Amino acid sequence: MSNRTPLMAGNWKMNLDWKQGLALVEELGEQLAGVDMSRVEAAVLPPFVDIRTVQTAVEAGSLPIAYGGQDLSAHESGAYTGEVSGSMLKALGATYAAVGHSERRQYHGEDEAVTNAKVKAAFAAGLVPILCVGEPLEERQAGNQVEYTLAQLRGGIEGLDAADAKQIVIAYEPVWAIGTGEVATPDDAQEVCAAIRGALREQYGPEVADAVRVLYGGSVKSSNVAELMTKEDVDGALVGGASLKAEEFAKIVGYQG
C-alpha cells in the first residue's frame, strides 16, 4: 500500500457552459457529502470561462473539490491572443493545470517542447501540472506503449528539479481508450503506470518516485474504477465523459477499494 492520496480528476473538455458547470459542481458537492474525502481527492477541470463560477460555488459551499485548467499558456503574459496564463488560473484559486492532453497534441500540434514549457509555466505560477502521456493505437499494436509513453514523459519533465518533480501528477491516457468505451485492462494500465514510476525513480530516486501520483485515463466509469485502483501504481483517474454527471463522478470518487 502506498501513502499517496488518490486523485480523481474530471476533465470536462469543451462541455458545459458556466450555468451548467455551476449546476454540476453544486450537485457534485451534495453527492460528495456521502463520501469519506479524507482518503481521496476530487478535482474538476472546467472550460476556462466556467472557472470563476466554479470558484464561487466551491468557496461558498466549502466543497471538497479542487479545480484547474485543461491547459495553460507557456507564456507568463503579453501578446498571446486567446491564451490564458498560469497566474490567471492561480488567481482564481486553481490548484491544477492539465498539460499535453492528447487532444492538445493532436489538434493543436503541441509537441514535447511546448508541453515541457507548459509544465514549467504551471510550476512557475504555483500550479500543479497534470502531465498527460499515452500511446496511439498503432504504437500499442506494435508493442511500443512503454517506450512511446516514456519518451513523452521524459520530454515533458525535462529540466525539472526534484522538488517540482515530486509534486507533478502524471496521467497515463492511452489514446485508443479515450472516449471509445474501450478501457485499458487493469494490467495494461499497471504496466505503463509502473514504467512511468520506474523512469521517475531512475531520474530522481525513490523519494520522488514514491510521491508522484500516476493516474489512468480512458473510458473510466464507476463500474471499472475500483478494479483499476487495485493496481499498485495506479493512483487515481483522469475522467472525461463520466465526469459530466454528478452522481456518476461522485461514485468514481467514492469507489470502494
Q: Which residues are catalytic?
A: 101, 173
Return the number of other C-beta atoms located less than 10 Å from residue 84's C-beta: 18
Among 217, 225, 246, 249, binds ligand 13P (CB under 6 A): 217
> Whole-number minimum distance, CB 79 to ligand 13P, in Å?
30
Q: 25, 104, 118, 89: which is closest to 63 by C-alpha?
A: 25
Chain positions 89 to 108 lying near ligand 13P, rule: CB under 6 A, are 101
Q: 229, 191, 255, 252: which is closest to 10 by C-alpha?
A: 252
What are 198's three cell numbers? 520506474
**47-76 mask for ligand 13P (x: CB under 6 A)?**
------------------------------
- The span from the CA of 18 to the CA of 180, in Å, is 26
> Whole-number minimum distance, CB 34 to ligand 13P, in Å?
23
How long is the chain?
257
Nearest residue (CB) to ligand 13P, 241 versus 254: 241
> Whole-number minimum distance, CB 70 to ligand 13P, in Å?
8
Q: Does 241 bind ligand 13P (CB under 6 A)?
A: yes
At 131, the amino acid letter reads: L
> Whole-number minimum distance, CB 44 to ligand 13P, in Å?
12
Q: 119, 125, 129, 118: which is closest to 92 by C-alpha?
A: 125
Q: Does 155 bind ligand 13P (CB under 6 A)?
A: no
Q: 157, 160, 167, 97: which is closest to 125 by C-alpha?
A: 97
Strand partners, 67: 44
Chain positions 113 to 152 lying near ligand 13P, rule: CB under 6 A, are none
Applying CB under 6 A, what is the total number of residues that bind ligand 13P?
A: 14
Chain positions 168 to 187 lying near ligand 13P, rule: CB under 6 A, are 173, 178-179
In order of 68, 75, 222, the CA distances from 83 in angstroms are 15, 9, 34
Q: Give residues in contact with ligand 13P (CB under 6 A).
A: 11, 101, 173, 178-179, 217-220, 238-242
